[in-house]
Amino acid sequence: MTRRRQKAQISTRNVLRPLVKREQAPSNTSNDLEKHDKALIQRDPLAHVLLRKSKRHDYRQSVNDQKSSDLVEFQHDASTGRDVLSFVRYSLEPFSDKLDPFAQLPVALDRFQEHLVSFYLLDYPKVTYGLSPHLKPHPVATNFSIAINNPPNFQVALARSALYRISLKKYNTESEKHDLEVALMKHKGEALRMVKEMSAKADGATDKDNLVASIISLGTLDNRTGAKDTASMHFMAVRRLLRSIGGPLGIKSALLSRVMVHFECIYGTTTASYVWDHSDASRLLLDINCFFADVWDLWKSPTRRSSIVSSTGSTTSTSSKMAISTTSSASISPVAAFALRPDSSLREALSRPHKQDDEEITTQDRMKLTFQLTCLLTFCHMILDYASDPGELKRYLANLNCIIDNAQLTGQPCNNHLWLMQVHDQSSTHNTRIWRAASFVWLLRHVPYSVQKGIRDWLLAFATGQSIAARTVKRLDAFYFSYAMQPT
């Protein structure tokens, strides 16, 4: 046994000596190294195993050195205030080599597709929508969870990821750019094929939900690529499907409904919609004016006026339809029940100033205003629904404010607050509430920026408990839509 060990040690030393010489010869070219390795393998079969280990060690060492240099560069960039995403600009790494160990995804992922999934889940939400990673649940992650059970939607997610990597120039070579362009067309084509097959045999409620989600994904993808006509055709198909099931409230999946209403609201710079068109304008115009009247009636109701005057809040009037009916709630002022706290994150987001009418209005300005309007409309709907019970209203809004404050959204875009307002309550009543607010936002996209800003200021004064008596009662005129609404 001892002789065998000695022979093995001698053989290993004989193999390692050329390997050491190989490592000590940095001037050798790759061809010379390959010839050296082949000759070494012919002399001793054990060299093949040792060479594989040596090359694997060299590769891992080079990867670690590259990551270390990238980390140093990233720390330097972060210290100088550059964008954090510069770290992954030229060194995009997937989560692992096996993102789907249990084969649960609709397709079998290769390494390139793993990169696309990694980008979609890690970088895409912040780059595209300014969404905070502290959101739980996260809107993009929620959409991805829907896509896992819906193959066409998953293909569109991969295509969207490829599209944004191209637009942000997150590629090293022209060959990689070409691969991303091919991936965009390939996954989009696969999604179209699957949607065609799905539409031919969609029967149950789940099938229709998946079909609606897939066509919406294709429409928004075409919208991003600039194919407005194709996107309009997809949105028209979605509107027909929704009308066949009773509108957006006919969606059976609560997650899909929340994702749909959120992304419908945040596309605030265009009048394109996959839920409403010009035929809904007259009905929505009457509905929003009734909403403004309800807000005004609640403000000037005798119950509310007496509660402002009386510090104890003991009210006796019951003539108003918004009167307080419960004894436990009678000691709470309606203003104290819904007025936003000055130190709350939600109030800070809704109170951010906007540009004046004589200044240049950018697309970003319009989006910010749309986010604020959607939040305020949703918030005021909550107030109206719970107006008859200030005690319950106070508890409901306290829970909402607690969720938003815990998410650490100070300074973040207002669409982060909007998402939490939409998903914190999974009841059917809240579902109706947020869809009604979303329909008003779509209607307000057709009015001038100055009118939108005036409505925002009026609703903000109401939500913060300030007097709106001196302000004009809001009412939209049909004149705004006589030229804005065009058949699609």
What tokens appear for 356 in the block? 């004046």
Q: What is the pLDDT of residue 13?
A: 47
Which range marks the domain in which residue 457 is found? 278-482
312 within a domain of the structure (yes/no):
yes
Q: Respond yes or no on whether the N-terminal peptide bond of residue 137 is cis (omega within 30° of 0).
A: yes
95 within a domain of the structure (yes/no):
no
Give mean pLDDT in consecutive 10-residue pieces for the chain, a chain of 488 residues.
50 46 46 56 50 46 47 41 41 48 66 81 75 81 87 92 86 87 92 90 78 92 87 92 91 91 81 89 92 87 46 33 35 60 86 78 87 94 88 89 88 88 92 95 90 90 78 73 57
Q: What is the pLDDT of residue 92?
A: 43
Alpha helix locations (H) across 168-253?
A: 174-200, 205-225, 228-244
- How many CA atoms are closer than 13 Å to the CA of 25, on its beta-carbon side? 12
What tokens appear for 104 in the block? 């649960």
406 within a domain of the structure (yes/no):
yes
Q: What is the pLDDT of residue 241?
A: 92
Are 419 and 330 part of one and the same domain?
A: yes
Are 298 and 231 part of one and the same domain?
A: no
Last-in-domain residue among 238, 266, 294: 266
Are 141 and 245 part of one and the same domain?
A: yes
Are 302 and 357 part of one and the same domain?
A: yes
- DSSP letter (8 states) at residue 64: H
Helix (H, G, I), strand (E, B) or coil at 73: helix
With CA atoms as reference, report the closest residue to 308 among 466, 470, 76: 466
Are 306 and 398 part of one and the same domain?
A: yes
Are 459 and 322 part of one and the same domain?
A: yes
Residue at token pair 């106070």: 394
Q: What is the pLDDT of residue 143?
A: 87
Q: What is d(CA 408, CA 93) in angstroms, rounded to the nearest whole number?
A: 28
- The total domain count for the chain is 3
Contact 458, 474 (CB under 8 A): yes
353 within a domain of the structure (yes/no):
yes
101 within a domain of the structure (yes/no):
no
Are 28 and 154 part of one and the same domain?
A: no
Residue at token pair 């969720």: 403
Contact 368, 354 (CB under 8 A): yes
Q: What is d(CA 44, CA 47) in angstroms, rounded to the nearest whole number?
A: 6
Are 236 and 312 part of one and the same domain?
A: no
102 within a domain of the structure (yes/no):
no
96 within a domain of the structure (yes/no):
no
Close Cβ partners of 132 (under 8 Å, ≥ 6 residues apart): 126, 407, 408, 409, 412, 416
Q: What is the pLDDT of residue 436?
A: 96
Are 243 and 341 part of one and the same domain?
A: no
Are 464 and 315 part of one and the same domain?
A: yes
Are 120 and 259 part of one and the same domain?
A: yes
Are 69 and 215 part of one and the same domain?
A: no
296 within a domain of the structure (yes/no):
yes
